[in-house]
Amino acid sequence: MLLNPAIMALIGVSVVVALLLLLAAGFAIQVMRHWDIHSGSELQLNLERRTYLISTILSYAFVAELVSLLLFVYNAEAMSTQFVGAMCATGVLNVDPWGWPTLFLKIAVFFAGGAWLILNRLDNQGYDYPLVRIKYALLLAIVPLVIAEAVVQTAYFLGLDPDVITSCCGSLFTPESEGVAAEVSSLQPRTAVIALYASGGLALLSGLATLRRRGAALLFAGSGLLAFVVALVAIVSYVALYIYEHPHHHCPFCILKSGHDFVGYYLYIPLFAATVLALGVGVLAPWRRIPSLVQAAAVDIRRFTWLALLGFTLFYVVATYAVVTSNLTMQGVWW
């Protein structure tokens, strides 16, 4: 393992967050078993008081997870000078087989945590906490994810060995090699473009439908998630090429570098924010008929849908702008 402050910080944060969530999980089990809003017993009073603690802990924990996702990618980028063959974060994530799973788990925790916080926010607005059981059941589902993330990340950092010759993004994202990365990058750019704009259109339309009619929220969440996955694939197989102005450079991390005007941040931040908000809308939608939540749910759904639509629009505008203003022209080659 490399004894590096950023690595120590990342491991520390994950372990602490996992412990906090275990604590919260213990409480969640108590709530699911004993919660009774109509009871005036000592136990119920205690449980009600403790919900404040759990909300606070979880908000802090998920914010810490978000920052640690950023730090993880940033640190992988910075460590690329310490491994033979690595030229950016891709190479560093490749040094150990647990590298990519860590990143994916971190992203999953980010989405799960964000959606939970949105649900929690709604529940706290109802005077009788109508969603308390559902909320804590969901929390119990998130806990294993967070623990898995802490374990996998520790395994990854322990396995980092500077003597391993890793491969840079140039050799990982080539259609000739094997694996998911290769599959993703060997996708026909034409297919990628069509999928990108089709999924984007679907997300935007279902978002607008959610604003007008109330029935489309779940569709919006689903299409938002789809748009997210397609967008990541499209960045690797299509958008990145135009940003690098090189038909064979597929890396999803190099676009975060200063040499490309940090355009990656303009792509990823709106995309991630919009997706988590869309998921949040999907999580809120089933509860909008509960009497104590009718008004709050309507306001929240509307607000989050608008914000998510804004995020998606921003992402597609930036992606399109990057392609249109690029000096790379592949018209005759690809279509």
What is the Cα–Cα distance from 331 to 335, expressed in whole angstroms?
Answer: 6
Query: Contacts with other proteins in 107-146 (CB under 8 A)?
Result: 124
Residues 45-74 binding other proteins (CB under 8 A) are 49, 52-53, 56-57, 60, 64, 67-68, 70-71, 74
**What separation in angstroms does the CA of 311 have from each of 200, 245, 276, 288, 308?**
11, 25, 10, 24, 5
Residue 95 CB, nearest approach to other proteins (Å): 13
Contact between 294 and other proteins per CB under 8 A: no
22 near other proteins, rule: CB under 8 A: no
Q: How far is the CB of 230 from other proteins (least distance, A)?
A: 30
- Alpha carbons 213 and 207: distance in angstroms, whole number: 10
39, 41, 82, 295: which one binds other proteins (CB under 8 A): 82
Q: How far apart are CA 245 and CA 247, in angstroms?
A: 7
- Residue 213: CB minimum distance to other proteins, A: 26
Collapsing DSSP to helix, strand or coil, 335 comes out as coil
4 touching other proteins, by CB under 8 A: yes
Kindly tell me which residue out of 27, 83, 242, 266 binds other proteins, with binding defined by CB under 8 A: 83
| Residue whose C-alpha is closest to residue 240's, from 275, 189, 277, 200 | 189
Number of residues that bind other proteins (CB under 8 A): 33
- Residue 16 makes contact with other proteins by CB under 8 A: yes
| Residues ≥6 apart with Cβ < 8 Å to 138 | 116, 119
Whether 278 and 207 have beta carbons less than 8 Å apart is answered as: yes
Given the rule CB under 8 A, which residues bind other proteins?
Answer: 2-10, 12-13, 16, 20, 49, 52-53, 56-57, 60, 64, 67-68, 70-71, 74-75, 78, 81-84, 124, 162
